Amino acid sequence: MSTQQFIDDAVLGRSYSNHVDTLKERHDRALEKAGASHAIIFSGAPKPKFLDDNYYSFQPNPHFVSWLPLTATPYCYLVHTPGEKPLLIYYQENDYWHLPSASPAGFWTAYYDIRIVNFIEDVAELLPQDKDKCILIGEFSDNEHAFGIDRINPNTAINILHYARARKTPYELDCMRAASRRGVAGHRAAEEAFRAGSSELDIHLAYCHAVEQTEKELPYGNIIALNENGAVLHYQHQSPVVRENVRSFLIDAGATVYGYASDITRAYSYDSSEYQDIINRMDSMQQDIVSEVKAGVDYAALHISTHEKLATLLIDLDLASGSVDALILNGVTSAFFPHGLGHLLGVQVHDVGGFMADESGTVIDRPPGHSFLRLTRTLEEDQVLTIEPGLYVIDMLLDNLQGSPGHAMLNQKRIDWLRPFGGIRIEDNVRVLQDGVENLTRDAFAS
């Protein structure tokens, strides 16, 4: 699939050298902490299906992708030794059942000593021989792929790498801006298909066509939800049925560029001006939250303040009554907004390190009563994260309030009106600055 309409590789080439230097420094520190001399990063292996001779779609090791723009090359090994040019052992299978990986080419190749192997057994000859001084990073379901190296994913090293990965290099930011532009192209196509009365399946296909990616290349399964399906947070189907009475549309969908993801959510009304007003109010609230993001902000506190804003909105919309504090204390805001405000974003959609206080792995606990929050760190410059408040009619959660003071605060008639529309989520991807943000999503929509 083509990436070139979304980014020029020449742009990436200018920032990639610094990116590799940054990764070298991080891995040097990780090796020193682990008392090792070589870090070997495995790209991963396809996983077989149970009782079958077919495999699930290959998912690369994110540690490998953070070094290299290679997302479809299993059985490769990157060897980092401090002071030396990184060695890439590039597996190019001799095969007539599948198309072998293309020969290495592009802006990144000059930074590696690349050795091509055609058989897995040939990898051993190129790995460092002093196995006791090696650490392996990756997932190894088959011991043969570890080649006798025992130290796999030692916490001393992994914690350093995961903590540091939250802060993005200029190269990573370039990839993520491009992923946002790619994702926005899909969102525009999806909205157009929704307005034309298409089924969830056809909307999904319009999205894939616009981003020029197949389902397995997307960073996660698209959420394409019409009407009441928008209240299912991770709605997993794309129904082929064309709806006769279309009311609303929630889309949570992203795209990738060289392994780096975007994660964007929007909600639309088909023809209800009243529901569109609620969407507009949610969008305004989301932008207010984004305006509070900057280096030094406690993200968990930002999540709590979101519940305060939502409580005010629930009162204004006549969905609930009472004081802001009472709606929060009695679980009303959590019934309408049960998930976290957002998460770190990068080579994984829910990127690692969201609970780390430092590179030793100290955990920052979630606030009591907010078990689904995925990020509790204090924000730092060049982190990229999502801001995604929501408002949904989820009967299971509203029913759980029965018998509590919170249930009496609900306006059932107003909720009954809202229920067929499902729910609203507005999600942007933002880069933290010293005093504000770069909003990758809004910039992409504007361009």
Instruction: Give burial (CB, 10 Å; 0-12/13-18/19+) of 150.
Output: exposed
**Per-residue pLDDT tens digits for 87-144:** 999 999 988 888 889 999 999 999 999 999 999 999 999 999 999 999 999 999 888 9
% of residues, the chain, pLDDT over 70: 99
Token pair 């506190």 in the structure block, residue: 301
Q: Would you kindly state where each structural domain of the chain is located, as residue ranges?
A: 9-165, 170-446
Q: Which of the four pLDDT bands, split at 50, 70 and 90, describes residue 351?
A: very high
Strands 87-91 vs 77-80: parallel, antiparallel or unpaired: antiparallel
- DSSP output for 73-90: -TT-EEEE-TTSPPEEEE
Closest C-alpha to 76, from 50, 111, 47, 41? 41
Asked if CATH classification 3.40.350.10 holds for the domain at 9-165, the reply, yes or no, is yes
Closest C-alpha to 440, from 264, 209, 211? 264
CB 356 within 8 Å of CB 159:
yes
Question: How far is residue 76's CA from residue 73's CA, in Å, rounded to a whole number?
Answer: 7
Question: How far is residue 206's CA from residue 185's CA, in Å, rounded to a whole number?
Answer: 10
Residues for the chain: how many in total? 447
For residue 384, CA distances in Å to 213, 296, 342 come to: 23, 14, 11
For residue 113, CA distances in Å to 41, 60, 88, 216, 254 come to: 15, 21, 6, 30, 33
For residue 91, CA distances in Å to 43, 45, 104, 149, 207 come to: 10, 11, 10, 19, 32
pLDDT at position 1 is 45
Question: How far is residue 91's CA from residue 89's CA, in Å, rounded to a whole number?
Answer: 6
Q: Which residues contact 83 (CB under 8 A, 6 or more apart)?
A: none
Provide the Cα torsion 337, 340, 342, 348; round to 10°.
-120
Q: Which residues contact 250 (CB under 8 A, 6 or more apart)?
A: 223, 225, 229, 230, 235, 265, 266, 267, 268, 422, 423, 424, 425
Superfamily of domain 170-446: Creatinase/methionine aminopeptidase superfamily (3.90.230.10)
pLDDT at position 2 is 58
- DSSP output for 6-18: T--HHHHHHHHHH
Strands 113-117 vs 87-91: parallel, antiparallel or unpaired: parallel
**Per-residue pLDDT tens digits for 267-279:** 999 999 999 999 9
**Per-residue pLDDT tens digits for 48-95:** 999 999 999 999 999 999 999 999 999 999 999 999 999 999 999 988
- The angle formed by the CA atoms of residues 19, 127 and 105, to the nearest 5 degrees, is 45
Mean pLDDT, the chain, whole residue set:
96
pLDDT at position 168 is 98
E strand or H helix that includes residue 114: strand 113-117
Q: Is the pLDDT of residue 179 over 60?
A: yes
Average pLDDT over residues 195-222: 97
**Per-residue pLDDT tens digits for 399-438:** 999 999 999 999 999 999 999 999 999 999 999 999 999 9
pLDDT at position 296 is 98
Q: Is the pLDDT of residue 46 over 60?
A: yes
Q: Is the pLDDT of residue 4 over 80?
A: no
**Per-residue pLDDT tens digits for 279-291:** 999 999 999 999 9
Question: How far is residue 169's CA from residue 131's CA, in Å, rounded to a whole number?
Answer: 31
Question: How far is residue 202's CA from residue 192's CA, in Å, rounded to a whole number?
Answer: 11
